[in-house]
Structure 1
Amino acid sequence: MYLVYYDESGDDGLPGASELFVLTALRVHDSDYRNVYEEIKLFRSTLRKKYAFPSRSELHTRELLLHKKPYVALNLPEHRRLDILDEFINFVPSLPLNFTNIVINKPKIQRTDYDVLDKALTYSIQRIENTIKRDKPGEFFLIITDDGRVEKMRRTSRRLQKINYIPNSNGLGYSNKPIQGLIEDPLPKPSDQSYFIQYSDMVSYLISLYMRHRLGIDRFPSKLPTAINYDKLVDWLTVLKPILNVVASRESKFGFGIVCYPK
């Protein structure tokens, strides 16, 4: 069975405070879970010794880069914060993980009843099921997420197990193919208690910055370190590419397995 941990970048309101909503799912097999968890603990211990970055400090990538709470109290200079993020990005591909990323480009939405989170989660669950069917036929998956969106995610996941219309390959009409691999409702877990949710947060924020540039939506946050530009983001995502879900969709317009809606 796979454990699938969700986090996001941006808000799911319409129009909301952000132009983009990025939903990221980290997938890890239950047989790998214990070893991966211990590897992460060891890595965090190394960071503590090398950078004085507390082992129990929650990783919030946006706040770390923009030097916001709780990281201000650590008095980490800009280059040190970048070094820490570099360490995370170079470490994660050593683990048997896989990330699925869905981007909702809200300025393109025309319908007033467009449910941003519902759409993003629908596309995400569909891609995860398709990937598992290809890689490990017969395996199931369980969703784990932070508390804030559990109820809305529950409604979506329950619906998809009954109604899931997929375009027919011949381009004529749709067929109902309910999701079969998902078990249980999405389960809540505080992000500060989950390394896996924190890694979803990291990938989600990097994808958000990358897509802001690709879509020409607006400039990067003013407090973002000047060393972070489009080329740097491409370098980081290239490092992460071996663990990005790049095969579950035919769309390759943006690279790195990213799919963006509405099309």
Structure 2
Amino acid sequence: MYLFYIDESGTGSQDNNTNYFVFSSIAIHATDYKKSHEKIIQLKQNIIKEKKAEEWELKGNELCKGKAVFKNWQLEDRVRTFSSISETVNQLPFNIISIIVNKKILFENREEMRYDVNLYRFAFQNLLNHLDSFLKSSNESGILFLDSRSTHRSSIQDDRLVKDYIEWLNSLQYDCNFVEQPWFGTSKSYVGLQLADYVAYLISLKTQNIQESHRDFAFLKAFDILQEKIHLVEIPEN
């Protein structure tokens, strides 16, 4: 069985910071989970030695921008950490499948995608198609883990994704290799979700056409390290 950890970047149709919306999935076979989990925990412990790995969350945006636990970190330290994360992920038996939606082009052709609900459904169901194809080609089953987008007071956003999943499942007449509806959890509790966040942010960073003179350009080396490991599906296709 494969475990799929999924997160997104460039969130929402009203997010004007980037023209792209990214859904990323990190897949790991259950037999590889224990050793891979130990490697990531050790990586986190090496990044911040003063804290236990379970006490802080690895988030791509916070590391790049020097926020939260990375506040007051020097730029070169954050760049070096970005590369070390990519190097570790590249060495582990992960399969990375990501959907990248060009919102600008999509909105020009499909007005209804300007609504967040429709954009999420569209991207999520496209990702499900590719993950299910991966499972079928591997003759394996799988289960989905997603970062909960709801607060303690509301589960509306998570419920919508479950409905999107069921709609997709019905369209296939239940002919898929997933064994259950998606599981939702807080990303702080799952290092797989933290890595999915990192990869999604890294892909989003790559789409921003950052110039060599910009301070964030150095972070793109981390993308180059992982590039061959990432199966990137662009929508619409070029």
Compute the TM-score of the two structures, normalised by the length of structure 2: 0.83
Matches within 5 A, 1:20-169: 20-49=20-49, 55=53, 56-72=55-71, 75-108=72-105, 109-110=107-108, 111-114=110-113, 115-134=118-137, 136-137=138-139, 139-148=140-149, 149-164=157-172
Q: Offset of 1:118 from its aligned partner?
A: 0.8
Whole-angstrom CA distance in 2 between matches of 1:227 and 1:113: 36
- Asked if residue 204 in structure 1 is aligned to residue 180 in structure 2, the reply is no
Q: Offset of 1:83 from its aligned partner?
A: 1.2
* 1:58/1:27 CA distance change after superposition, 3 Å: same
Q: Offset of 1:43 from its aligned partner?
A: 2.2
Matches within 5 A, 1:181-260: 181-213=177-209, 226-229=214-217, 233=220, 235-245=221-231, 257-260=232-235
* 1:259/1:147 CA distance change after superposition, 3 Å: same
Whole-angstrom CA distance in 2 between matches of 1:16 and 1:48: 31
Q: Contact conserved, 1:105 with 1:262, CA < 8 A, in 2?
A: no
1:155-209, Cα deviation, whole Å (9 max, x unpaired): 1111111115xxxxxxxxxxxx755112211111101111111111111111112
Q: Contact conserved, 2:28 with 2:93, CA < 8 A, in 1?
A: yes
Look up the equivalent residue of 1:228 and give its one-letter code.
D
* 1:204/1:53 CA distance change after superposition, 3 Å: farther
Q: SS at 1:96's partner residue?
A: coil
Aligned position for 2:5: 5
Q: SS at 1:31's partner residue?
A: helix
Q: Contact conserved, 1:47 with 1:53, CA < 8 A, in 2?
A: no
What is the RMSD computed on CA atoms of the aligned residues?
A: 2.5
1:42-80, Cα deviation, whole Å (9 max, x unpaired): 22223334xx576332111112111223422xx211111
Whole-angstrom CA distance in 2 between matches of 1:28 and 1:189: 17
Whole-angstrom CA distance in 2 between matches of 1:79 and 1:65: 10
Q: Offset of 1:242 from its aligned partner?
A: 4.2
Q: Contact conserved, 1:104 with 1:116, CA < 8 A, in 2?
A: no
Whole-angstrom CA distance in 2 between matches of 1:59 and 1:179: 36
Structure 2: where are the runs of 5+ without partners?
Answer: 150-156
Worse overlay, 102-111 or 119-128: 102-111
Worse overlay, 36-45 or 94-103: 36-45
Q: Contact conserved, 1:126 with 1:179, CA < 8 A, in 2?
A: no
Q: Contact conserved, 2:82 with 2:222, CA < 8 A, in 1?
A: no
Whole-angstrom CA distance in 1 between matches of 2:93 and 2:64: 26
Look up the equivalent residue of 2:146 and give its one-letter code.
T
* 1:82/1:159 CA distance change after superposition, 3 Å: same
* 1:59/1:8 CA distance change after superposition, 3 Å: same
- Asked if residue 261 in structure 1 is aligned to residue 224 in structure 2, the reply is no
Compute the TM-score of the two structures, normalised by the length of structure 1: 0.76
Q: Contact conserved, 1:129 with 1:179, CA < 8 A, in 2?
A: no
Q: Which has the higher contact order (CA 8 A, sep 6+)?
A: 2
Q: Contact conserved, 1:25 with 1:99, CA < 8 A, in 2?
A: yes
* 1:65/1:237 CA distance change after superposition, 3 Å: closer
Look up the equivalent residue of 1:84 and give its one-letter code.
T
Aligned residues: 223
